[in-house]
Amino acid sequence: MSRRTLLGATAAGGFVTAVPQPQRPGRVPSTVRELEEKIQAGMEKYGIAGVGLGLWYGGKEHVRGFGVTRTDAPEDVDGDTVFRVASTTKTFTGAAVMRLVEQGRIDLDRTVRSYLPGFRTADAAASSRVTVRQALNHTAGWLGDFFLDTGDDSGALARYVAAMDRLPQLTPPGTVFGYNNAALSLAGRLIEVVTRRPYEDEVRRRLLDPLHLTRSGFFLDEIPGARVAQPHVYDPTTGGIVVAPQAWRIPRSLYPAGGLISSARDQIRWARFHLGNGGRALSGRSIRAMRSRPGPGGTLFVELDGAGVTWMLRPTAEGPTVVQHGGDWAGQHSGLLMVPARDFALTVLTNSDAGTALLDDLFIDDWALRRFARVSNLPAPPLTLTKAELAPYLGTYSGQQIDLDGTVYTQEFELVADSGRLVLMFGGQAVDGFAFYRKDHVVDLPLNGGTEEGVRANFVRGPDGTVQWFRLGGRLARRGAPDTARSGRRATTFNPRSLLS
C-alpha cells in the first residue's frame, strides 16, 4: 500500500486519542485557521501524537503546537518544542559550505579531492571527478543510503568518510539525480577539514548563533530546558503507535545529513532568512545561489527541476519555483517549503511515523500551495497505456542501503502491468499502483482504482535509450535481477521513504 493508504488504515484503529487544543487568542485569518483544522483532523485520522507548525504568510509569522510530546507522559507541544528535523539539516550543511565559499576557502566547482586528497569510493576514477557542487545537489552518483554508525566522538565523520571506499558508483558524476545522504556527510567532513573545527561547532558558530536559533542544535545539552517531542513508531503487535525514546538517537556520522534538533519557531525563522536579503550569516547572493543552477531533474515524491545547493527546486504550473526540503527518521518526520515569489513559507514537524501521511497532504498535494501561494503542481492526468507501451518498464528492480552496523540490504521488487497501469509487487504481494501521466513519469494511485493524486516517480534511461532505473523516493532502483554475489541480505519490508529523506 502507499504510505497514505497504509497509515490511514492503521489509524482507523483509533490508537491515538485527539488532544483538545486551547482556543486561539485574537483574530486568525481564515486560511490559517483552515490549516490548523486540517492539521488537527489529520492527527486524528492518521494517528499522530504531536505537531509543531510554523507559517509565514501575509507578512506575519504564525507558530503553534498541537498534541503531546509523548503519549505515555504527555506534555503539550508548543512552537518551541524540539523535534529531529532529519534531512532538512542538509540545508544548514549547504549554507555552512556557502559561508566558506564567500570566504574563498571552498570553490563549488573544484573536486572534493582538492580538499580531501585521500577521498575515494569503490570507483576511484569516478570519485576523483566529483565536485563539491555535485555532492551538494545529489548528482555524485554513488550509493547514497549509507548509514554506518562510526561512534559519537568528534572523529565520527572522518571514519565514516574513510569507510565510503566501499560504496559502488551507480551513475557517472553530474549526470543523474539520486538522493545521496553519504554525499552530505562528506560535505560535513569537508567543512571540518577546511575550518579545522568539528562540523557541529561550525554550524553553530556560522549559522545558529548569528540567526538566534536558540532552540536548535545537535546535542540536547545545547538547548537548556528543551521540551522534546519523543519519537513514536508503529507497533505491529498492537496495531498502534508507541513511544520509542531509543529512536531519538542518530549516529554522529549522519549529523550533516540529518542530525539537527530544532523547533517550529526556529525552522520558520530559518525559512524567513532564506526569503530575505541575507545578513551576518550569509549574503543575499549566496542565499540566491543555493536555489540556482539546479543539477539534473527528476522526482523526490514531487517533480523536481533538480537540486541547487541542497535545496530541492520544484516547478509549478503557474511558474514560481517552490524551494523545499523535508526530513524522515524513525518516529520523526518534517517538511519545509518556501515560495520566494509569494513571500510564503510553511514548516510542519511531527513525532510519529504516521506523520508522513499528514506531510503528504500538506507538502505533496496542492492544498497548501493553492491556498497560501496561489500555485500548484504541474498537472499529472493519469493515462491508460497499452500492453506494448507498458512493456519497456516491466520487470525486476532492486536498490540497496547499508545499515548502521554495515550490513548491506537489497530491496527487490517487480513492476507488472494491470489494466493499463503499473503495479509494484513485493514479496508476492501488490504494494502500490502507478499510472503514467507523461513519458517515463508516473503518479502513485491507490490500488483500489481511486484517482487521488499522490507521490510522483520516474524512470531513467541509459545511453542506449532503454529503461535502466526506476527513481522512487529519489532513490535509484536498477532494472534487472540483482547481482546475487553482492546483494547482501534481502529487505523484508518495502520502504520507498528511506531513513533520511
d(CA 500, CA 245): 18
pLDDT of residue 488: 72
Which residues, in sequence order, are bridge partners of residue 217? 261
Give me the pLDDT at residue 24, please.
Answer: 55
Helix axes 3-11, 30-46, angle to 10 degrees: 70
Sorted by sequence, the CB contacts under 8 Å of residue 125 that are 6+ apart come out as none
CB 262 within 8 A of CB 216: yes
Dist. CA 32–CA 57, nearest whole Å:
9
In angstroms, rounded to a whole number, what is the distance separating the alpha carbons of residues 338 and 329?
22
What confidence score (pLDDT) does residue 415 get? 98
Strands 322-329 and 302-304, sheet pairing: unpaired
pLDDT confidence of residue 490: 78
Short-list 106, 218, 113, 122, CA closest to 170: 122
pLDDT reported for residue 280:
87
CA distance 313 to 291: 7
- What are the mean pLDDT values of the chain's consecutive 10-residue runs (501 residues total)? 38 41 67 97 96 97 98 96 98 98 98 97 97 98 98 97 98 98 98 98 98 98 96 89 95 98 98 94 97 96 97 98 97 98 98 96 95 96 97 98 96 96 96 96 82 83 97 97 68 69 75
| Cα 370 → chain centroid | 22
Residue 192: its H or E element: helix 181-195
Look up cell 562528506; give the residue.
Answer: 186
- Tell how strand 456-461 and strand 441-445 pair up: antiparallel
